[in-house]
């Protein structure tokens, strides 16, 4: 296949991560950068030697010089932009979350089915070498998950992004951060979530969202997941996964993996990179070149969004 022509939409923290990753993948031509402001679009395009810098997504979607788009835009735009891209004949990788409602997630899935285009969602935890090391052993029957204990902790009492810069939109513990773990739990157990419950703390008076949340999940076979999330945590930041298995306990901290006794596990041979975003982008490119379904395809992640929709209903009913 000739060079794959990709537009990166959204030039914030995650747009930059994808642009960095794409520079390490052969035969990729980033043909456009789309951003909210012309200044940011021009600055980022110049840094990565991209010819087109614009604020107009419609023009990019109409361009014959674009085969696929990577959407790194605010959560509230993901569903609408994914549908517009596929309607324009472009393959899509949309950053997590696919949508912020079950109805919108279903609408995107319907268009993907109708058009036959690749629609992949950025569920990066499926690609991190630490989780892949465990996934291979689970698939081979060496490990069975009894419980995943997960902590997702940030300090976000102001509306800032991962770089500490002001955000134009408000993040969400349920639809964004919980989505990572809910999908990973189902992926690692190879079972759908059969029971799910949620409790949330009071909404922040300025941001209007719950800043603390507790989620419990169970599969039909009895595997459990306990997930604690907070934007109030003044301490180590990030997500920490404890896998309690029948044959060992393991702790995954992004791309590092430890035993339950804090002994490091070498995951350097798991993949060609230790960067989960790069591995995610490599899978998107592979699927486009091979003409098949990628890991984290929209079809494979819909169970996660079904659970998120059910949890949102619980929160709405508790108000």
Are residue 19 and residue 118 in the same domain, yes or no? yes
User: Is residue 133 domain-shared with residue 210, that is, in the same domain?
Assistant: yes
Which domain does 251 fall in, by range? Answer: 125-273+306-318
Q: Is there a single domain that holds both residue 204 and residue 93? A: no
pLDDT of residue 167: 66
CATH number at residue 142: 3.30.360.10
Cβ-based burial of 158 (10 A; exposed 0-12, middle 13-18, buried ≥19): exposed
SS3 labels along the chain: CCCEEEEEECCCHHHHHHHHHHCCCCCEEEEEEECCCHHHHHHHHHHCCCCEEECCHHHHHCCCCCCEEEECCCHHHHHHHHHHHHHCCCEEEEECCCCCCHHHHHHHHHHHHHHCCCEEEECHHHCCHHHHHHHHHHHCCCCCEEEEEEEEECECCCCECCCCCECCCCCCHHHHHHHHHHHHHHHHHCCCEEEEEEEECCECCCCCCECEEEEEEEECCCCEEEEEEECECCCCCEEEEEEEECCEEEEEECCEEEECCCCEECCCCCCCCCCHHHHHHHHHHHHHHHCCCCCCEHHHHHHHHHHHHHHHHHHHHHC
> Are the C-beta atoms of residues 312 and 174 closer than 8 Å to each other?
yes
- Mean pLDDT (10-residue bins), the chain, 319 residues: 88 96 97 97 98 98 98 96 98 98 98 98 97 98 98 81 65 94 98 98 89 97 98 90 98 92 96 96 97 97 98 95
Nearest by Cα to 60 from 46, 81, 74: 81
119 and 129 both lie in a single domain: no
Q: What is the CATH number of the domain that holds 114?
A: 3.40.50.720
d(CA 239, CA 179): 12
Query: How many Å apart are CA 127 and CA 271, to the nearest integer?
Result: 9
Closest CA to 85 of 176, 9, 15, 27: 9
Same-domain check for residues 190 and 69 = no
So what's the pLDDT on residue 1? 47
Using CA atoms, how far apart are residues 256 and 264, in angstroms rounded to an integer? 8
Q: What is the CA radius of gyration of the chain?
A: 19
User: 227 with 81, same domain?
Assistant: no
Please choose, from the candidates 130, 126, 124, the residue with its C-alpha nearest in 3D space to the C-alpha of residue 274: 130
What pLDDT does 163 receive? 60
Do 252 and 137 reside in the same domain of the chain? yes
Residues 65 and 176 in one domain: no
CA proximity to 36, closest of 77, 2, 95, 86:
77
- CA 222/CA 177 separation, integer angstroms: 24
pLDDT at 206: 85
* Dist. CA 3–CA 165, nearest whole Å: 34
Residues 269 and 132 placed together within one structural domain of the fold: yes
The total number of structural domains in the chain stands at 2
Same domain, 180 and 111: no
On whether both 269 and 129 belong to a single domain, the answer is yes
Q: What integer pLDDT is reported at residue 2 of this predicted model?
A: 62
Same domain for 95 and 214, yes or no, is no
Phi, psi of 242 (to 5 degrees): -110, 115
């Amino acid at each position: 296949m000739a060079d794959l022509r990709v537009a990166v939409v959204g030039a914030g923290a995650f747009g930059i991560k994808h642009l960095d990753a794409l520079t390490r993948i052969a035969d990729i031509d980033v043909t456009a950068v789309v951003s909210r402001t012309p200044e940011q679009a021009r600055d980022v395009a110049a840094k990565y030697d991209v010819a087109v810098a614009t604020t107009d997504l419609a023009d990019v979607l109409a361009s014959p010089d674009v085969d696929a788009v990577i959407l790194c835009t605010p959560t509230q735009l993901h569903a609408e932009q994914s549908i517009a891209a596929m309607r324009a004949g472009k393959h899509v990788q949309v950053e997590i979350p696919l949508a912020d409602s079950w109805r919108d997630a279903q609408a995107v899935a319907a268009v993907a089915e109708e058009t036959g285009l690749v629609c992949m969602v950025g569920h990066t935890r499926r690609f991190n070498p630490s989780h892949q090391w465990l996934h291979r052993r689970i698939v081979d029957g060496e490990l069975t998950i009894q419980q995943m204990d997960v902590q997702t902790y940030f300090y976000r009492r102001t509306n800032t992004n991962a770089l500490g810069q002001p955000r134009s939109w408000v993040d969400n513990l349920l639809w964004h951060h919980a989505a990572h773990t809910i999908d990973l739990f189902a992926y690692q157990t190879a079972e759908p979530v059969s029971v799910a419950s949620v409790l949330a703390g009071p909404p922040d008076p300025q941001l209007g969202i719950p800043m603390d949340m507790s989620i419990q999940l169970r599969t039909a076979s009895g595997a459990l997941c306990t997930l604690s999330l907070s934007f109030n945590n003044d301490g180590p930041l990030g997500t920490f996964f404890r896998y309690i298995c029948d044959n060992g306990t393991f702790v995954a901290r992004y791309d590092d993996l430890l035993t339950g006794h804090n002994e490091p596990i070498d995951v350097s041979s798991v993949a060609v990179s230790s960067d989960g975003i790069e591995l995610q982008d490599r899978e998107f490119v592979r699927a486009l070149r091979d003409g098949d379904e990628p890991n984290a395809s929209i079809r494979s992640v819909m169970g996660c969004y079904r659970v998120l929709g059910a949890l949102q209903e619980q929160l709405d009913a508790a108000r």
